[in-house]
Chains A and B, each alone.
Chain A
């Protein structure tokens, strides 16, 4: 399958990247999560400190396409650790990759701010356990910085 090249080099190789962080449920749980399953890695659970990353494989990249928003991200596979830090307040959490996502291209250009600090584009989705360590679940979407954990 032809895969368009991401902007070169991936931004996250040069240092931490900023983007938006949201949360998603996984594991066969209650509500609309009942059909979600255990994610692309087969290990995802809402109660575990895990995340979804947009570039876990060619097939994953072809769905999420951060390059369409001008963002290059490195290929990182199941179990890789990232540290996500809330730009608002500085709380951080280290999580491992358990799924493919978010679909960055569907929210291209979206921006979240905290005070004067803003971040563009959805680059990472945390499980509820992880997100609630750095922000309230009811906030839904926050600006963050992502580094290797």
Chain B
């Protein structure tokens, strides 16, 4: 138990130090400050100074946590910071649900469950670290916790989650080629939209598709055209839009 508590300052220092340095030195992070929920909280003009101030506090607390001697007050400062993050995420979720949190580098995704999980874990680590005594940390635990925190960081997804998903998709082919069957209606419609026939008649169309059927290698597509009916004949094979034919027919609407 003592080892667990003694490990927390290192976990917190790693994470706060990293987050702080990104806020202070990443130009991209500062460039996107205007799109974070922080901008909503303090105003767009003050978003960058506020981001820098938070970064300075994070770096200061991280440095205090790793530099001896350790005191419970340092753990308390980290816990207060983590509680602040949690409150900020809550605010962002309610007040600016589409803004990113700007917590750990630039990305455009709003705060989600993983963001809350990460802030909660940091808070727990901060509270635990207040009870830390002069005991050696458990290196394996520090590594595991840091890995969990990284895994909860959506900002880093592009480095590991996206490539691994792409790899799995390539291996498994979840959208593998369907067996050749009927030509989807959408395929015929895209050919129709490209056709001179549709272009010349579209100003007359007053409804979407009323009816469609296939016959003799041709797909017939019927639209309303005011009091008339527009019928298009779209070849089921080939991709030549000029092969599409149209007729405007005087006939009552289908019963």
Write the residues of chain A forming the contact surface with B, with a CB cutoff of 8 angstroms.
1-2, 35, 59, 62-63, 86, 88-91, 113-117, 135-139, 142
CA distance A86 to B198 in the complex (A): 12
Q: Which residues of A contact B31 (CB under 8 A)?
A: 1-2
Chain B residues closer than 8 Å to A62, beta-carbon distance: 34-35
Does B196 sit within 8 A of A, measured CB to CB?
yes
B202 within 8 Å of A by Cβ? yes
Residues of A within 8 A of B241 (CB): 115
Q: Which residue of A lies closest to B196 (CB)?
A: A115
**In the complex, are the beta carbons of B203 and A113 less than 8 A apart?**
no
How distant is A108 from chain B, measured CB to nearest CB, in Å? 17
CA gap between A91 and B241 in the complex, in Å: 21
The 8 Å CB contact of B194, one of A1, A86, A114, is A114
In the complex the two chains form, what is the Cα distance from A136 to B221 in whole Å? Answer: 14
Query: 20 extra interchain contacts, Cβ-Cβ under 8 A, other than A115-B196, A135-B202?
Result: A59-B35, A63-B35, A86-B202, A88-B193, A89-B202, A89-B204, A90-B203, A91-B202, A113-B194, A114-B194, A114-B198, A114-B199, A115-B195, A115-B198, A115-B200, A116-B196, A137-B208, A138-B209, A139-B193, A142-B193
Question: Do B203 and A89 touch across chains, with their CB atoms under 8 A apart?
Answer: yes
**Min C-beta distance of A147 to chain B, whole Å:** 18
Distance in angstroms between the alpha carbons of A35 and B97 in the assembled complex: 9
User: Within 8 Å CB of B193, what residues of A?
Assistant: 88, 114, 139, 142
Provide the residues of chain A in CB contact with B202, threshold 8 Å.
86, 88-89, 91, 114, 135
